[in-house]
Structure 1
Amino acid sequence: MPARPTRVLVVDDSALVRQLMTQLLGEAAGIEVVGTAADPYIAREKIKQLAPDVLTLDIEMPRMDGLTFLRNLMRLRPMPVVMVSTLTERGAQVTLDALALGAVDFIAKPRLDVVQGFHEYASVLVEKVRQAARARVVPAVAARPLPPEAQLASQPLGYRTTDRLLAIGASTGGTEAIREVLARMPADAPAIVIAQHIPGAFSGAFAERLNRHSKMTVVHVEHDQPLLAGHAYVAPGGRHLRVQRSGARWHCRLGDDEAVRRHRPSVDVLFESVAEHAGANASAALLTGMGDDGARGMLALRKAGATTFAQDEASSVVWGMPGAAVARDAVDHVLPLEHIAHHLLCAASIDSSALPSGRYLT
C-alpha cells in the first residue's frame, strides 16, 4: 500500500499566503493540505478536528501571536511546526525564540513580491515540510544538568589553546544544538568555528544569542579575523567560511563563491579548510541537520588526523547530516548532544585519555 501523505495545516492571517502555500504544498507528491486557519484560535480547533502531521505557522497574527500559540501547543500537544518568518531583525529574534520553544524549522516569507517569492521558495518549503514530518520534536525544557563526566569540563584540562581548533557544523535543529554545546564550554576553550545553515538576515542575531548563553565570546565572523582562544566564530549566512593559517595564527576567510549543494555557508567548505590548514590539531562535531552537507568535509578531517564526532540519532531533530557522515565512515565517535562539548574538550587537551573507547556512547 502507498504511504499515507503528510497532512499539513497552514496557519497564516494572510488569505493570499494561505492560498499560495496550499497550492504549492498541494502540488507536491506525498503532501496533503488538510486545512487552513487565519488565526491561532481557529487553528486550535482545526488541529483537534483534522489531526495534521505538520503545522506551518506565521509569527505575526491577530488575537494571539504565533510565539504564544507555539508555546501553548508545545506544552499541550507537541507536533512538528515550520515557522513562516519575516526577514527582519525582529523576525530573526522571534524565529530563534520559536526554534528554542521546539519549532523544527522555518522559512522566510518574501517581503516584496509575495507570489513570485513563494514560487521561488517552493522546493525549499516542500522539503522542509517533508523533513518536519520525520523530525524529532523537542519542546523547550529546563536546562539539563551536566552528566557527571562532563562536569570535568569546568576543570583545567590543559588545553593546547594556541595550536588547537574546534569546528562545528549543523542545519535543521542546529541553532539550539549549537547553543547547548557552547553553553557547556569554559571561557578558555580553544577557538571554535561554526557553520550553521541560516539566512544572512538571521546569522547576526544567532551569534548574539549564542554569546548571551556562553562563557566564551561568540562573534559574527568578519573577513580576515584572527582566531583566538576563548572565542567562537559564526559564519555569516550567505557566505562561506574557511580557515587559513597565516604565520603562526589561523584567520577566518569569507567567500562569496558558489553555494555547495545549495548551501552557503557550507559545512563541507569549512571542514575541508580546517582539514587542510589544521589537520590533526583540529577536532570537529557534526550536529543535527537534513541532507549530507559536512559528511565529505568530516571524512577529510578524519583522514587528516582530526578527531571527529557526530550527534546521535536519538538526540538529533533530523539525523541526516550526522547519519551521512557515519555512513561514510567519517566519524570516530557518535555521541548524545549533551556529551559533545566535553569530548571536544578532551580531544583538545594535552591528555586525551578521557575520550570514549568505542564508537557509540549512549
Structure 2
Amino acid sequence: MTSCKKLQRKKIICIGTSTGGPRALQAVLTQLPKNLDASIVIVQHMPPKFTKSLADRLNTICDIDVKEAEDGEQLKEGTAYIAPGGRHMTIIQTGGRAKVKIVDSPTVNGHRPSVDVLFNSINKLTNFDKIVVIMTGMGTDGAAGLVELKKDSNVYSIAESEETCIVYGMPNAAIATKQVDVIAKLGDIADTILNYIR
C-alpha cells in the first residue's frame, strides 16, 4: 500500500541560490536528464530582466527545458522555472496540479524573489515529494523556509558544501538549522537529487 502511494506522488525540486548561483545552476541543471520525473522551481537572487537571459542561456545547454516562470503556468516535469527578477515566485495547487503564481509583495530577507517565499508556498502542496537544494549565496535566505518545510512535509534537503561554494552564507545558514539531510559538493548535487527521486 505504501509503495503504491509513493508511486502516485508527484515530485518537485526547489532550488535557492544567490552569489555564484548562475555557475552553480549550470553545473546542476546540465546534469539532469530530459525525461526527469520532476518539475524544478528556482529562486536566483537577480534584478529584473537578468533572469530571462539566464534562463534562455541555460535552456540552450541543458537537456531539460529551462525558462523564466510566468504567472499562471502549470508546472511540467522535465522543466525548470526560474523566478523573474524583482518578483516573488510562489507555487499554488489547483485540482491536484501545481501552478506558478507571481506576486509583488514586499522583500523578504532583503530579497525579491526570496527563497523563503518559494519554500513557504511549497509547504502547502499535497501529494508531492519535495526536494529542496540551497546553494552558494550571501545571507540566510531559505533557512527559515526549510525549518517550516521540515515540520510537516515530505522533504529531502540538500546543501552545497563549503568546499565548492563561492559564498557559503546560505548553505551554512541552512546547515545550522540541523534540517539538512545531505551536504554535497556542487558536482555531486545532481546525482544526489537523481538517486533520491529514482
Matching residue of 2:157 = 308
Structure number with the bigger relative contact order (C-alpha 8 A, sep ≥ 6) is: 2
TM (norm. structure 1) is 0.51
Check 1:319–1:202 CA distance in 2 against 1; reply closer, same or farther (3 A cut).
same
Match 1:168 to one of 15, 18, 24? 15
> How far does the alpha carbon of each residue in 1:47-78 deviate from its partner, in whole angstroms, 9 at most, with x for none?
xxxxxxxxxxxxxxxxxxxxxxxxxxxxxxxx
Among 56, 69, 87, the residue aligned to 1:208: 56
User: What per-residue deviation string (whole Å, max 9, x for no partner) do you get for residues 101-150 of structure 1?
Assistant: xxxxxxxxxxxxxxxxxxxxxxxxxxxxxxxxxxxxxxxxxxxxxxxxxx
Asked if the contact 1:286–1:309 (Cα under 8 Å) also holds between the matched residues in 2, the reply is yes
Unaligned runs of 5+ in 2: 1-5
Greater strand content:
2
> In the alignment, is residue 282 of structure 1 matched against residue 130 of structure 2?
yes
Counterpart residue identity of residue 181, structure 1: V
The structure with the greater share of residues assigned to helix is 1
Q: Percent identity?
A: 38
2:3 is aligned to none
**1:179 and 2:179 matched:** no
SS state of the match for residue 277, structure 1? coil
RMSD between aligned alpha carbons? Answer: 1.6
Q: Deviation of residue 305 (structure 1)? A: 2.4
Question: Aligned-pair distance for 1:263?
Answer: 0.3
Aligned to 2:112: 264
Structure 2 letter corresponding to 1:261: N
Per the TM alignment, residue 201 of structure 1 is displaced from its structure 2 partner at its CA by 2.0
Q: What is the rounded CA distance, in whole Å, between the counterparts of 1:336 and 1:161 in structure 2?
A: 31
Which region of structure 1 is more displaced relative to structure 2, 315-324 or 279-288?
Answer: 279-288
CA distance in 2, matches of 1:206, 1:160: 33
* Aligned partners of 1:291 and 1:320 also within 8 Å: yes
Describe the superposition over 1:142-177 as per-residue Cα deviations: whole angstroms up to 9, x where unpaired.
xxxxxxxxxxxxxxxxx9697111110000001110
Q: Aligned AA for 1:344?
A: I
Matches within 5 A, 1:1-362: 163-189=10-36, 190-278=38-126, 281-303=129-151, 304-349=153-198
Q: Quickly say closer, same or farther: Cα 1:279–1:161, change in 2 above 3 A.
A: closer
- Decide whether aligned partners of structure 1 residues 330 and 176 sit closer, same or farther in structure 2, where only a CA change above 3 A counts: same
The residue type paired with residue 254 of structure 1 is I
Contact 2:20 2:167 in 1 (8 A): yes
Amino acid at match of 1:313: E
Give the aligned residue type for 1:251.
Answer: K
1: CA distance between counterparts of 2:129 and 2:137?
25
Aligned length in residues: 191
**Distance across 2 between alignment mates of 1:335 and 1:279:** 27
Q: 1:280 to 1:327 in 2, by over 3 A?
A: farther
| Cα distance in 2, alignment partners of residues 185 and 160 from structure 1 | 20
* Structure number with larger C-alpha Rg: 1
In the superposition, the TM-score normalised over structure 2's length comes to: 0.92
Compute the displacement of 1:200 (Å). Answer: 0.6
